Amino acid sequence: MQRAWTSDWRAKEKPTNSERILDIRHNGSAGAGLLYNCAATRDLEAFYAESLQPHALMERAGLAVAKLAMAVAPHAQVVWIPCGPGNNGGDGYEAAKHLKHWGKTPIVTRLQNSKELPTDAAIAYREAVAAGVLFADTAPEQYDLCVDALFGIGHVRDLNDRCSAWIQQINSRVAPVLAVDIPSGLDTDTGAGARLYVRANYTLSLLTLKPGLFTADGRDACGDIWFNSLETTAPANACAQLNRPSLPDDRAHNTHKGSYGDVCVIGGSSSMAGAALLAARAALHGGAGRVYVGLLTPSTTHLDRGQPELMFRDPLTLAIESMAVVAGCGGGNAIHAHLPRILAQAERLVLDADALNAVAQDAKLQDLLAARAANTTVLTPHPLEAARLMNTSSKDIQSNRLHLAQVLAERFACTVVLKGSGTIITAPGQLARVNTTGNARLATAGTGDVLAGMIGARLAAGSDAFSSACESVFRHGQVADAWDSTATMTAQDLIQAI
């Protein structure tokens, strides 16, 4: 939701050199939306520490934090700033200095003795003392804003009782929270939260955008995300990029149903025909010219009364070599027997649900999958399905979503869509994308089948596997973000809204 700026003079304009990711993630850019892991960010910090005037980078960071603090909470008077032992704490000291100069009452609590601080943080501490900033041993009971400057991208050591109590207080009070760089306790690279981690209303990412802001626990922990480059230029060695594809334009007039390709959905075993029908309906609404359904259960069904455009066929009679195939939705154990033919003959392919489980259990199917032509196949696992494919646990997948999605893509030489909070889209030779659309309204049965059908439609229209996945995942989440009802959004609602 867009928030209006107040008349307070310090908040008349957006903070200098800052961009609000919440507003620009669907269009516009923060650079190119490139994401940098902790190692790359530290390398960049070291480079500018050498090339700029001493302490310049921290001065810029502290000022950016102070400006954003006043932009998001212009009427705050008492600002609690818990500071950690590293340079994140130094940014907090710098911000406190500016807030004091502007007539606010910053109260700083700290985890580290000033004699043990890094050089830049020690300078910032001395400047804050000279400015008259109040330092306290305990957190204030009442405050109007909290600025979390505990750890940022720094390694979160075992939390002592004092730090744990502070994080618990931060999360339990009504005062808004602004996290410096990344909420403390959140892993910069993976988005996985520690035993205790800060849940912020706002996060100001400094110097670079970090992948942990946008996936796993990061989606809930960061609140509204802002970015400030600190007047620097990021290098080319990004580890990922925000998924913001240009969605296809309206169709040309001089086209026909054959212009947009055919999709066939093979799935829907006994008691699970609905999954195949949802995928087929989504493919039709997603733009496919014709959609065929090959149900895997003995049935006299020849018509979907809710979608009579769908055409039902025996799966073995479908000319899959000339279609985009979506296999596995509701497939149960029955899909296994069809996969050798599908993997060998389908020109373009989406493997979902039970097709993924079947591949995970059969080394021969894995070999067939890996042998397929490059950029023709999309896998759409949720974390448990990904874990089965990699012979690990869903906990391991969730602890490092970006890396393990890339490993899975390399292993099977295909595009992987690792679903979840901050869906990851990756493929060999491609910079991984982290999706920024979508919300918990998608946590209902059948929405994954809808996504598989949407990707199938893009493949049928001629897009390559990676582009089809990026576009479909973005649009899938975009519909959920635009849902304006408090009622649950069903998979069928999602299809209609496409």
Q: Where in the chain are the domains?
A: 9-239, 257-497
Q: Would you say 107 and 80 are in contact if contact means Cβ atoms under 8 Å apart?
A: yes
| Percent of the chain whose pLDDT exceeds 90 | 81
Chain segment 420-453, per-residue pLDDT in tens: 999 999 999 999 999 999 999 999 999 999 999 9
| pLDDT interval class at 44 (50, 70, 90) | very high
Is pLDDT of 192 > 70? yes
Q: Would you say 380 and 452 are in contact if contact means Cβ atoms under 8 Å apart?
A: yes
Q: Would you say 125 and 159 are in contact if contact means Cβ atoms under 8 Å apart?
A: no
| Distance (Å, whole) CA 350 – CA 377 | 6
Least Cα distance to 288 among 318, 323, 246 occurs for 323
Q: Structure tokens of 91?
A: 């940014």
| Distance (Å, whole) CA 96 – CA 66 | 7
What distance lies between CA 56 and its chain's CA centroid?
Answer: 32
Pairing between β-strand 433-435 and β-strand 424-426 as defined by DSSP bridges: antiparallel
Is pLDDT of 21 > 90? no
Q: 9-239: which CATH topology?
A: Rossmann fold (3.40.50)
Q: 257-497: which CATH topology?
A: UDP-N-acetylmuramoyl-L-alanine:D-glutamate ligase (3.40.1190)
Is pLDDT of 18 > 70? no
- For helices 273-285 and 447-460, the axis angle rounded to 10 degrees is 40
Element (H, E) at 379: strand 377-379
Which region, left, alpha or beta, applies to residue 44 given φ > 0 means left and ψ of -120 to 50 means alpha?
alpha
Is pLDDT of 4 > 60? no
Biggest alpha carbon distance in the chain?
83
Is pLDDT of 311 > 90? yes
Say what the pLDDT of residue 113 is.
79
207 phi and psi angles, rounded to 5 deg? 75, -55
Chain segment 215-264, per-residue pLDDT in tens: 999 999 999 999 999 999 877 899 999 999 988 767 788 787 877 899 99
How far lies 146's CA from each of 92, 121, 141, 482, 486, in Å? 11, 19, 12, 31, 31
Least Cα distance to 299 among 276, 278, 279, 320 occurs for 276
Q: Structure tokens of 403?
A: 């890396």
DSSP letters, 166-220, are HHHHHHHSSS-EEEESS-TTB-TTT--B-SS----SEEEEESSB-GGGSSTTHHH
| Sequence-ordered list of residues with C-beta below 8 angstroms from that of 266, at least 6 positions apart, any chain | 276, 294, 296, 315, 318, 320, 325, 326, 327, 328, 331, 335, 338, 342
Judged by DSSP in three states, 56 sits in helix
Q: Structure tokens of 331?
A: 């497939």
For residue 411, the one-letter residue type is R
Which strands make up the sheet holding 134-135, listed edge to edge? 18-20, 224-228, 202-206, 177-180, 145-148, 78-83, 105-110, 134-135
Chain segment 63-122, per-residue pLDDT in tens: 999 999 999 999 999 999 999 999 999 999 999 999 999 999 999 999 877 788 999 999
Mean pLDDT of the chain: 91
Least Cα distance to 87 among 46, 126, 117, 44 occurs for 117
Q: Would you say 412 and 386 are in contact if contact means Cβ atoms under 8 Å apart?
A: no
Say what the pLDDT of residue 259 is.
77
Q: Would you say 446 and 488 are in contact if contact means Cβ atoms under 8 Å apart?
A: no
| pLDDT interval class at 302 (50, 70, 90) | confident
| Distance (Å, whole) CA 454 – CA 435 | 16
Say what the pLDDT of residue 5 is.
29
